[in-house]
Amino acid sequence: MSPLLEAVDLRRHYRVRTGRGPFGTKALLRAVDGVSLQLSAGRTLGLVGESGCGKSTTGKLVLGLIPPSAGTVRYGGGDMPATGSSAWRALRRRIQMVFQDPLGALDRRLPVGVQIMEPLAIHSEQAPAERRERARAVMDAVGLQGHQFDRYPHELSGGQRQRVVLARALITEPDLLVCDEPISALDVSIQAQVVNLLLDLQERLGIAYLFISHDLKVVRQVSHDVAVMYLGRIVEQGEAESLFAEPAHPYTRALVSAIPSVGERRERLLLQGDPPNPVDVPAGCAFHTRCPFAVAACRSQTPPLRARPDGRLVACLRADEPALEAAA
Ligand SMILES: Nc1ncnc2c1ncn2[C@@H]1O[C@H](COP(=O)(O)OP(=O)(O)O)[C@@H](O)[C@H]1O
Ligand SMILES: [Mg+2]
């Protein structure tokens, strides 16, 4: 059976100016540089990594919101139609999105109920009364009350607004939801509610999620599988539970060791500094400048993303060494 979503060697490069003044030089920024993903129906793939590593760009590529510089996205076994084409718009019913900032995603001048119905106006021939009924049903599903239909976004709390965005995404009955930092802008007390809602909706409706977040703790709660990105590439990918229990890539080890309550039980591996500038990615393994285990070979050889016998994918030259010793 083909997966619901398959991305093969996706790349998205941007020409950017670097340096100062009118004569700044042009450089190539590899926002996404060879990402392959698979996601099956009803499952959640978590996509993690520090800010700027290419998570949102990957999400937009998967949604067809931006075309790839290279590589393909396949959906339900077929190629993603060209961005903006009528076939693409039809497919967009099946793939919806939820972004970080619900207020930014909503129109301040329209009642939320009208906005929840909006995708139906674009995607279906249903009568207005039918749409209204459907909107009330999804509002109920996400825990909003009927009387909130006529409220404006600023009259709702942040958590309620994110429920509105979710209701709007769900109204076309999608198979896949791309959630890009869906709870990062919410109060901590509300975050758990929205996470539980997402889990509950998946169980009831069988929706697959591409769950993008820099917050590993949340990704751990929701994901069946996890892909870890660093500077535009996946450096480790695997089944969530085993990946968090035994991260193999030094970068994943560092991220996991920084999760409170998980990290405490393990070695502490602190990441030095920020990720390098993505227009000037270090040669060899892009992580070598921050890796405590880097040896000479890591500065010249780019490690391929290789599958271990247990299915885990790891891009590290030293990943097979049983006890990885810090380099001198
Ligand atoms: N439209 C664009 N033009 C130029 N650079 C971009 C554009 N979109 C994203 N980038 C760059 O691509 C890299 C990845 O960005 P993004 O996918 O937003 O990362 P993340 O979501 O992981 O924080 C960043 O360095 C960002 O500045
Ligand atoms: Mg982002």
Domain boundaries, the chain: 5-94+174-314, 112-171
Tens digits of residue pLDDT in 57-88: 999 999 999 999 999 999 988 888 888 888 88
Structure tokens at 236: 């480790």
In this prediction, residue 62 carries a pLDDT of: 94
- 35 C-alpha to center of ligand 1: Å? 15
According to DSSP, residue 65 is labeled S
Report the SS3 class of residue 282. Answer: coil
Percent of the chain at pLDDT > 70 equals: 95
Residue 30 near ligand 1, beta carbon < 6 Å? no
- Split at pLDDT 50, 70, 90, the class of 50 is very high
Residue 263 has pLDDT above 60, yes or no: no
Q: Ligand 1: which atom is nearest the Cα of residue 60?
A: 17
Residue 52 CB–ligand 1 contact under 6 Å: yes
Please tell me the predicted confidence (pLDDT) of residue 308.
94
pLDDT value of residue 265: 59
Whether 170 has a pLDDT exceeding 90, the answer reads yes
At the topology level, CATH places domain 5-94+174-314 in Rossmann fold (3.40.50)
Q: List C-alpha distances in Å: 43 to 143, 203, 226, 289.
A: 22, 10, 11, 35
CA pseudo-torsion sign 322, 325, 327, 328: negative
Q: How many CA atoms lie within 13 A of 321 on its CB side?
A: 13
Whose CA is closest to atom 18 on ligand 1? 56
Question: Is the minimum distance from the CB of 316 to ligand 1 under 6 angstroms?
Answer: no
Q: Average pLDDT, stretch 203-232? A: 96
With a 6 Å cutoff on the Cβ, whether 233 touches ligand 1 is no
Q: Is 63 in the pocket of ligand 1 (CB under 6 A)?
A: no
Q: What average pLDDT does the structure give for the chain?
A: 91
Give me the percent of the chain exceeding a pLDDT of 90. 70
Cβ 252 under 6 angstroms from ligand 1 = no
Q: Whose CA is nearest to atom 14 of ligand 1?
A: 54
The pLDDT value given to residue 2: 74
Report which listed range, 185-194, 195-204, 256-265, is most confident. 195-204
